[in-house]
Each structure stands twice: as structure tokens, then as C-alpha cells.
Structure 1
């Protein structure tokens, strides 16, 4: 393959390269399944782009001493090549393929690099490096303010994280576990009431479950959602947000085009609801905060102390000033959005894989039944969290189906860096490929095989090796602040479900391995945007089902 520097003197090179690019896009596009939720063809979209950045990208790359010379040839010429795979919702798998072919450090754009080793991942995400986030995170600015997730400079993020992290560290309190168990009871009540009905879409059900929990923690008990049992506005917003994920790459990669599509569809009075789902959730969040403040008479000290809203209203900046209400609104919006989809995707894939593996249902059920029970008749989260079989299964689900689209971009700091002997200049975007790390054959034997036993019976050294390459919640200073809360929600629900039910994928539904493959959206949602599961009550003679039904009735509000 030619190197870029050998081509710089060819004056007529542009036309030939763009012909090659178009051929590549057409060939790839012909192999891809149609995207029913988007009324356009990604390959035609890419072909229609102008190549105005071509000469500039070539000149810039020619000045970069040591810039990675490995990777797809077209990636080195234009950012539109990786953009095509973004729009086709194939980015993560394509980058994994490239890492297998080219190695652990590859060029995926004229100013973008991907890495796929635990050491390099820890370098770019670890606290010591202090890497800033890229401009990609500008897309998550809301209400004119940057929530913690969207703060780019490392130092600013570290200062603001103290307030948010301290709140989520407190979720280990018994009161939070009780809140989660109340919502678990409601989920079980919904499933019990639908016995004998068609299969249940667990992607929607777990979305409602996670949304109700996070809204309880953000706004307090009086103002939280009750989506599990009430078919209201919130359900429609959550449904639209799932479909909106398919438009995310266009919105992020080509905001002008996305804005034009929205404008045109608005003129035609046919703007699909997923295209304004983000605004709908922003409005819902804004109204909730106003409701809370109105109920407290405008006194911030009267807002419930167990809510994040209370914590932020009474927090201050380093200069002693109160946080702005716009920032607080932005922070709650980001937490609301992220906490719902992260837990919903994780739970959906855990339930799906358990439904495909009945023997593991039995193993987890027996493990949970062997744990000591609390006064409510169920094991505590502390006990469940130490159960190795459940932990192994969940880890394997995280490995195979991580809830991330691989856009955790950082910027190489001033002066540039040397990675495995390759110098990369400052300002280059650099990302660790989660899916490539999770499928590294040198770490995970038979990486394409779903095998929870790989996490069991390991020596401490072997376990550390596996753990170093597993990053479903990120790594380092910017690791997901709500990781503990998400773990509590996931494990408490799974433990209760599989003591009570056996599950199967409904053979008559459209839920298949193909529909459960992940799109490379921001949160890696399943292609079918649903997962139909049948629940069968286990008859154990202990009256557990009756006890649960009684508990659900007592806790109904």
C-alpha cells in the first residue's frame, strides 16, 4: 500500500481517490441492512459531500512526524470515511476489524487515532494524564451550560465532580436500596398482571424502571415519575429517545445537515417525534425542577435533602458563589438521560442472555436462594453484590454487549505523546476502542464466544488481567459517577426476577440474534429497539409468589 508522503506530489490524485472512496462506500452500503427509522441512504449522503477538506487534510498530515501510518488508507485522507461508518451505525465493529487487521494503534481519521491495549487505555483515561475531552462533548451542552459529562478541561471536571460524586457515593445507604426495591416490586407487579399475555418488551420495562429510580433521586419522592405503572407522557418520551439514538451520528458528525433535515421536515409538517425527543425531555426536566421549587415556596433549603437537586442548590463554586440554576438544570437533565439508558441497555442484555442460557438462570437462582435474607425476606444488596456466579454472568454481558458507542474521545496534551514508540502530536483526538479491548484474543480466550465461566475460578493475577481490559463504565477520573447506583439497580432486579421467574426469548416474536446485535449509537442500543421475553412463574411451594404480591399491594402509592 502506498504511503501518504509518496502521494503528495501527484497533482491529479484527488479525483482518483474520491472515485475509490465512492466505490468503497457503495460496496459497503450494499451489504448493510436498511435502517427503517431513517428515510435516507447513508452512502448517498456521503457521496453528496464535497471534498473541500481533502487538500487541507493531506497538507496537515504531511507535517506530522511519526503520526500513525497504519490503518485504512482512506481514513488518512478524510474524516468522511469514518463518518460513513458512523452514519451507517457500524463504527464500533468497523474499528474493531481495523484493530485486528492493523494493530493496537491505528489512524481512523486525519486527526483521530484509536488504541486498543489496556496500557494505552489507562494512559489516556487515567488521572495522571489529565487529558481534556474533545469537541465531541460540545453536543451535550444543555440550557447553555455544561453538565459534568460535557466539561472538557480535566481540572474543571475534577473540581465539579466532587459535588456529583459525593451524592452518588451516598447511594449505598439503606434508604436508596429501599427505593430501588420498591420499584422492583412494581416491575414484578406488572409482570404478574401480564401472566398469560403476549411477551413483555424488557427494553421498555427496564427503561421505565431505571427512569423512575433516577427521577426519585434527582427530584425527591413527591415529584418523581411513576412510569412503570402509568402510561403517560414519560413513556412516549422514552420511546422516542430510543429511536432518536439512530439519528445521533448525523446530529454529531454533520450538525448542519441534521439541522437542515429537521428544518425541511418541520416545513412539511412531518417532523418525526424522535427528532424532538431531546427537547421533550429537556422541557420535562425543566418543568419538574420548577414544580419542586414552587412546592418549596422558592426556598432552596426546603427541597428534600435526599435529592440531587437539593445537593446542587446548596452547593457552591470554588469562589463561594452558588451554582447557577441553568447549570443545575443541565446537570439533572444529563443524569436523567444517562442513568436511564445505561441501566436499560445493560438489563436488557442481561435478561436476553439469561433467557438464551437457562442453565445460568438455575445457577444464579440457586446462588441467590443460598444467601441470608433480611427482614423483608430477600438478601441485601451487600450479599447479592458478593455473589460470584451472578457477577461472572454480568461481567460477560458487559464484555460482549457494552453500553457505549466508543466515542470517549480525549485530546493529546501539549507537546504530544509517545505511545508504544509512536509519536502523536498535540491536539489529535484519541480514543480507546471498548469493543476491541473486550474482544482482545490475547486477553480473552475465544473472545466471540459468550462464556461467563472465564470469570470464575481465576487466580488473583488472572482476574486482574481480565479486569484491566473490561471498561463498561469507563476508567479513571471520569469513570461513570453513577456506577454504584447502576450496579444496585441491575443486581437487585435480576436477583428478584430469577428467584421468581424463568424466562425465554419468545420464538414467535421478532427478537432474534440479529435484532439484538448492537447499533454503534452513543449508547449501543439493540437493532430491534426491543427485546420480547416470556416470564413463567416458578412454583416452589414456599409461597414466595403470594408474599411478593402482598408486598406490591402494600407499597402501591
Structure 2
């Protein structure tokens, strides 16, 4: 027995050394890929540490600058930073999502489009609602026209006029999140059910504070869910209980919006009475159509034979809409903050933008005998303004609200080669990040400079190449479904403000972006002063 143990122990040790050290370092197909760190060949410790410390995006970017289009981040993980044989292969080639998504983006324990790991259910649900987020639909939507008119003329501009008259400064980062939330909630659930965060400061601060408080604990749920569960069995909560309470509070808040929207649209009192699903009893013809996204999703899910979810339909609707309102307000709010900051730093560019806006959008200016008061400009007119478009594109490039990696998993068959690598086995975590793609100096000269002119002065071939590398909304079948809504909303808000005001920085301490998947300013604020332009 002793002799057998003496023989078996070295064999077991040798096997483990081969599996966890020799094979990944010397024989794995990934061994031919440059390692971002010497630990990356045989341990995920380095990249996990960078993620935990909030240094992931810049660390990956530095590795790509040093080694090129593909780098190894861990024993079973790579990052790509190229278009051909890179993001086109991964994100347009049907690579499935890594479990990183459902680990942190499910609500109510129910999948939504963003958290769905597999492409097939995602495609089914995307087809249900993609039409109401299409550019043509949004630009011609009477509901969105009415929403925009109220948000701009009844809420936003009067607030800014009051601030300008009093000579006060204003935290526009807070205001931007409020404006984008009011827009997206009204489009999803209808004006009668929407928030009024622009004017209701107390409520918005409470909501945003609860929403943002969970951020420091996302790492554990996303990267090490098994560790969280292990310690939980031992009675140790790595993620505090109050984080779960905050999640439940936000989920309950969305359910209330869903129920209120259903009650307002259908001639049916309390359609989800006591939490019970009653969508099957709703009339087929709604009496009102204001809650656009809610109605579209509810009407599609109810009769859809492809809908085979084990979850109650009420929660299937709520999880999807919760994701839309969360992503819809946060990313657009961050982008507007950095756009306003850059414009405030660059008075000549601000003046050039204002000249374009005043020349083509007179209806956004104060009413006069020659103009109809508060007549909204045509969205197509706003969308066609070249310098406004350039300012927004450049902000989305250098200050992408989601600069972090978008993880996918390589297919088991066929084996795929990326960025001239050897064929990769199935099950490898692979990702790209906008932070690196947007800093390719060959495509974007002087990439760290915010220079809107690059989008106007470039040749047609250069514009085409910049478009191929522009990744603020992702690409492929999983590309952001709300991108047209976000662009239309952000252009309108920017146009309304800079047609009427100049902005000046009062306090931009902490304006640098945090290093995270979703990246707002470190100081979580931007104080500006507004001056009326007559």
C-alpha cells in the first residue's frame, strides 16, 4: 500500500503539472499567441486582478499596442483588436455569448435579449421589437415627437433658462441621466407612466443613487460566481445583502411601470392582479398606443408560438424593459456628459456647432412673430447636420460609454483562426473592446485627441475605414438595438441646448473615465455654467 501511494502521488502531481502548466504554456493552440503577462499562459490571476482593480481596459490596450491584433489574457482567454479576421469573425460569425452576460444582466432570474447567451432565442425576441427601434420608425413616430416636445420645451429648456438667469452652476452629469431616463421611460411605458427626473430632483437622486450603488460588486457576480456561491454556503456573503435589496427595489420599480402601462393602454383594470399573469385575457386592440415598446413586446409575446419560456410572461416583459431603461439612460447620459465637457473646453468648436444649429433649426430658438412657438424640428433635419453628427461620433469614439470587452466563446466546430493565430479550440473566451479599436492611430490619427473635424475632413475611403473600426454600439446580430433611439435623443438634446446657450466649466474634477465595462466620470459629476445666447 505504501509503495503504491509512493508511485501514485508523483503520477498525480506530474499529471496536474502537465495539465495546468506544461500544456497551456507549451502545447495549447493559445501558446503561439503573445501573452499580455507572463502569468497569462497558465493562470487567469493577472487579468482577474486587473478587472478587480478597475484597470482592465487600459491593460488590454497596452498589451495590444505592444503585441498586435491578438493577445492572450489567460490560459483560455484571448483579446482581438482588428476588424478583418477579428471582430467581423467573432461578432458577425455567430460566436455565442460568454456566461459573463447572464451572470450579471438577468433581472428577476429571467433572461433578456442582452443576457441571452445563445443566439437563437435572442434572434426570436429581437425580431419582435426591432421595428420600433428602427431609424425610420423613430423619425416618423408621433409618440416620440410628442415626448420630445414635452421633454425639451416643458422641462429641459425652462430649467436651463432659470439656471442661466440666476447665474448658477448645474451638475449636467446628473441632469443628463435624468433627461435620458425621462426619454426612454416615456417611449417604453408612455408619457402618463414616465418619470419626470428632470424636474423632480429628490426622486431622481434616490433612484440614481440606488442604481449606481451596486457597481463595485459587479466583478464578483460576473467573473467569479462560483466563488460567491461557495462562500455563501459557508455563511459568508462576498456581495452584501443590501445589493440584492437594491436589485429587488429596482426590479419592483420596473414592475410597477409595467403594470401602470398595461392599465393605461388596455381597457382592463389591474391586468396583473396580485402578481398573476393575465396577458392572455387582454383585448387584441389597445385603446392607446403611447407605451410603444411595452405594447410591441406584449402583443408579440402573447400569440407567438416560438415563445416557450418557463417564466411568467409578466416577468419576461419586465426583464426586457428593465434592461432597456437601464442601458438606455446610463450610456446616453455618459455620452452627453463628455460631449458637453468637450464643447465647453473648445469655444471655437462650440461656436461652429451653434452656427450650424441656428441656421438649420430655427424652431428650437425662442418664439418670435416669424416662428411658430415650440414647433419641433424634423428629426431627419437634425440627423443630417454634419457638424453635430461629427461632434457626437467623435465623443462616442474617444469617450465610449461602454469601452470594455464584449466576451464571446469560440465554437467547437469548425475551429477558428483569429488575427492570424493558429486555429482555436472551442470554448475559448474571446473578446474585443471599443477602447482599443477606437485608438488605432492608423485609422484615427492622434487618437487621444477629441477632434470632430476628422469625420468631415476625411476622404470617402478614410470615412469608410473609420466606420469599420467604429464600435460604440458593437456589431453583428447583437449590435445595440437602441442605437438609433440613443442617437436621435442625444442629437436633439444637444441641439436644443447649444442653439440657446453657451456652456462654461465650473468644476470638472474627476472627469476622467473610470476603467470599467460601462465607464462614466470618476468624480460622477460635471458642473457647468449656462449663458443664454440671444
**TM-score for both structures, normalised by structure 1:** 0.80
Which one of 132, 139, 150 corresponds to residue 96 of structure 2? 132
Q: 1:488 to 1:256 in 2, by over 3 A?
A: same
Which one of 287, 299, 305 corresponds to residue 314 of structure 1? 299
What is the CA–CA distance in structure 1 between the aligned matches of 2:17 and 2:435, rounded to whole Å?
Answer: 30
Q: 1:504 to 1:257 in 2, by over 3 A?
A: farther
> Counterpart of 1:209?
179
> Counterpart of 2:417?
418
Q: Secondary structure at the match of 2:29?
A: coil
What is the CA–CA distance in structure 1 between the aligned matches of 2:493 and 2:98, rounded to whole Å?
Answer: 36
What is the CA–CA distance in structure 1 between the aligned matches of 2:492 and 2:227, rounded to whole Å?
Answer: 43
- Contact kept, 8 Å, 2:443 with 2:462, in 1: the verdict is no
- Contact kept, 8 Å, 1:114 with 1:430, in 2: the verdict is yes
- Contact kept, 8 Å, 1:237 with 1:277, in 2: the verdict is no
State whether structure 2 residue 475 is matched by structure 1 residue 475.
yes
* 1:353-392 → structure 2 map (5 Å cutoff): 353-371=342-360, 373=362, 375=372, 376-377=374-375, 379-392=377-390
Q: 1:171 to 1:57 in 2, by over 3 A?
A: farther
The Cα offsets for residues 240-289 of structure 1, whole Å up to 9 and x where unpaired, read as 3234323322332234666799999999xx96967743332111001222
What is the CA–CA distance in structure 1 between the aligned matches of 2:433 and 2:17, rounded to whole Å?
Answer: 26
Deviation of the 1:446 alpha carbon: 1.3
Q: 1:377 to 1:336 in 2, by over 3 A?
A: closer
- Contact kept, 8 Å, 2:356 with 2:387, in 1: the verdict is yes
> Counterpart of 1:534?
529
> Counterpart of 1:29?
none
Q: How well do the aligned residues superpose, as a CA RMSD in angstroms?
A: 2.9
- Contact kept, 8 Å, 1:242 with 1:529, in 2: the verdict is no
- Contact kept, 8 Å, 1:134 with 1:152, in 2: the verdict is yes
The Cα offsets for residues 19-77 of structure 1, whole Å up to 9 and x where unpaired, read as xxxxxxxxxxxxxxxxxxxxxxxxxxxxxxxxxx9985436625523544302211222
Q: Secondary structure at the match of 1:533?
A: strand
- Contact kept, 8 Å, 1:215 with 1:336, in 2: the verdict is yes
Total equivalences in the alignment: 481
Q: 1:101 to 1:233 in 2, by over 3 A?
A: same
Q: 1:131 to 1:492 in 2, by over 3 A?
A: same
Note the residue ranges of structure 1 that are not aligned, 5 or more in a row. Answer: 1-10, 15-52, 541-557
Note the residue ranges of structure 2 that are not aligned, 5 or more in a row. Answer: 1-9, 272-280, 364-371
What is the CA–CA distance in structure 1 between the aligned matches of 2:230 and 2:168, rounded to whole Å?
Answer: 41
- Contact kept, 8 Å, 2:80 with 2:418, in 1: the verdict is no
Residue range with higher mean Cα deviation, 491-500 or 410-419: 410-419
Deviation of the 1:227 alpha carbon: 1.3
Deviation of the 1:300 alpha carbon: 3.4
What is the CA–CA distance in structure 1 between the aligned matches of 2:478 and 2:307, rounded to whole Å?
Answer: 25
Q: 1:213 to 1:259 in 2, by over 3 A?
A: farther
Q: Secondary structure at the match of 1:108?
A: strand
Which one of 155, 171, 185 corresponds to residue 138 of structure 2? 171
Residue range with higher mean Cα deviation, 517-526 or 334-343: 517-526
> Counterpart of 2:21?
58
Deviation of the 1:174 alpha carbon: 3.9
The Cα offsets for residues 297-352 of structure 1, whole Å up to 9 and x where unpaired, read as 22634474232111122113752658722211110111111101011011111111
Q: Secondary structure at the match of 2:520?
A: coil
* 1:141-290 → structure 2 map (5 Å cutoff): 141-169=106-134, 170-175=137-142, 176-185=144-153, 186-195=155-164, 196=166, 198-255=168-225, 276-290=245-259
The Cα offsets for residues 516-543 of structure 1, whole Å up to 9 and x where unpaired, read as 22112231111111111111112x2xxx
State whether structure 2 residue 104 is matched by structure 1 residue 108.
no
* 1:86-101 → structure 2 map (5 Å cutoff): 86-101=51-66
- Contact kept, 8 Å, 1:177 with 1:488, in 2: the verdict is no
State whether structure 2 residue 58 is matched by structure 1 residue 69.
no
> Counterpart of 1:516?
511
> Counterpart of 2:391?
393
- Contact kept, 8 Å, 1:132 with 1:152, in 2: the verdict is yes
- Contact kept, 8 Å, 2:186 with 2:194, in 1: the verdict is yes
Q: Secondary structure at the match of 1:419?
A: coil
What is the CA–CA distance in structure 2 between the aligned matches of 1:439 and 1:91, rounded to whole Å?
Answer: 16
Q: 1:59 to 1:212 in 2, by over 3 A?
A: farther
The Cα offsets for residues 464-508 of structure 1, whole Å up to 9 and x where unpaired, read as 0111111101112111111111011100010110111111110xx
What is the CA–CA distance in structure 2 between the aligned matches of 1:264 and 1:341, rounded to whole Å?
Answer: 36
